[in-house]
Structure formats: structure tokens, C-alpha cells
Amino acid sequence: MVPVNDWLLFTGAAMLMALTPGPNMVYLISRSISQGKQAGIISLFGVVAGFLVHMFAAAAGLTALFLAIPFAYEVLKWAGAAYLLYLAWQSARPGARSPFEARLLPVDPPHRLFLMGFITNLLNPKIAFFYLSIFPQFVAPEHGSVFVQSIQLGFTHIAASVSVNLTIALSAATLAAWFAKRPQWLVVQRYLMGSVLAALAVKMALEPRRPA
């Protein structure tokens, strides 16, 4: 099992990633604004199904990877730090858009809402990189089964993401209206998120190598 301190740190990282603008957040906000809260929730179920695919794929892959290459996490660590810096730049770069800027979408039936949520998450590069480069930093063979640790962390990540995205889906219209009246806060939100992501990238890059 993952040690409590590592688990708490991972939970914080998962919450931060859930709050970071990406395809999932943009789609859920836009869908909720365009078609209502119920549509946003149905879309979120599809997103969760996509998370399960990522989680089980990562759990199986990490088990094989750590058995084959004990220090493979070093490569993944630097890849994860680089991707976090990329997300930080995407948040703070000139001309970037906040996810709380409304985007209109056509009305879709429930089965299509679920399918689009699933596909959006399945093909979401932010989630793929999270499971490939950040996720492994919290898994260590000396703490027991890599597969079991991966499942534990995976469900923690899903719970954090669902709690954040459900809150956003239920309050998307209100948030969008609030930001529309206060456009300066859209800029503050982007720069704040970029700064936090950059700090997390530096922390990850400076983490000492774990023993084999």
C-alpha cells in the first residue's frame, strides 16, 4: 500500500491536475452551459469511464516496467516535470483562453453525451501524461504490489477528479457569468494556475532518486 504521506501528496497533486484547464474541463463546462447540468453530469459519467481505461492500463504497464527497469521512474520523472512546465506555459501564455469562457455546443442525446465524455477523456493528452509520468513517482516496489498501489492511486485520482468536475459541471453557468462580468479574474486564474504548475514541476525534478 502507498504510505499515508505519499498518498496525501498524491491526492493534492490529483486535485491540482483536476483544477488545471484541459479537454475534460473545457468540454464539461461548455456542455453544462449549453445543455444544462444534467447533460454535464451524463458527460462526466463518460469521462469517468475513460479514467478507468487509463487507470487499468497504467497499473498493468507500471507493474511490467518496474519489474524490467528498476530506475525507469527517473526518465518518467523528467518527462512529467517537462509536461507540467508545458501546462504552466499553456495557462500563462499570451492569448490563452480560460476554460470559464463559455463555448456553445449543439444539443446531443444522453448516449452521445456519455460517448463524447468517454472519448474526450480517453484521448486527453493531459490525463495520458499524468498516468505515464507523474503517477509513477508515487509508486514504489518496496511498498508492496505495484499493481495494487496503482489501483489505490488510480481510484484516488478518479475520486478527486470527479469531485472537482462535478462541482464545476453543477456551477458552470454561474461561474461563467461571474467571470464574464470580471474578465480580469480570468487572467488572474490563468497566471495563478501556471505558477502552481511550474512550482510542482520544479519540486518533481528535484526529488531524489528512490532506492531500487
Q: What is the pTM of this model?
A: 0.71
**Phi, psi at 97, each rounded to 5°:** -110, 145
Give 133-183 pLDDT, tens digit per residue.
Answer: 777 778 888 888 888 898 999 999 999 999 998 998 888 777 766 766 776
Q: What percent of the chain has pLDDT over 90?
A: 17
Whether residue 101 lies inside any domain: the answer is no
Residue range of the domain that includes 132: 4-96+108-206
pLDDT exceeds 50 at position 212: no
Mean pLDDT of the chain: 78
Which three cell numbers, joined as nine digits, stand for 71? Answer: 530506475
211 belongs to a structural domain: no
Reference 97, options 172, 178, 22, 177; nearest CA is: 22
Cell 492511486 -> residue:
153
182: in domain: yes
Alpha helix locations (H) across 2-143?
4-19, 23-35, 37-68, 72-92, 110-122, 125-129
Q: What is the mean pLDDT of residues 107-111?
A: 89
Residue 43 resides in a domain: yes
Element (H, E) at 179: helix 146-181
In 10 A of CB 12, how many CB atoms?
12
Number of independent structural domains in the chain = 1
Average pLDDT for 174-202:
70
Cβ atoms within 10 Å, residue 183: 10
Q: Please check whether residue 195 lies inside any domain of the structure.
A: yes
Does 103 fall in a domain? no
Residues 141/147/149/154 CA torsion (nearest 10 deg)? 140
Q: What is the DSSP letter of 93?
A: S
Angle at 163 between CA 202 and CA 108, to 5 degrees: 110
**45, three cell numbers:** 459519467
Residue 13 lies in a domain: yes
pLDDT at 33: 81
Domain presence at residue 212: no
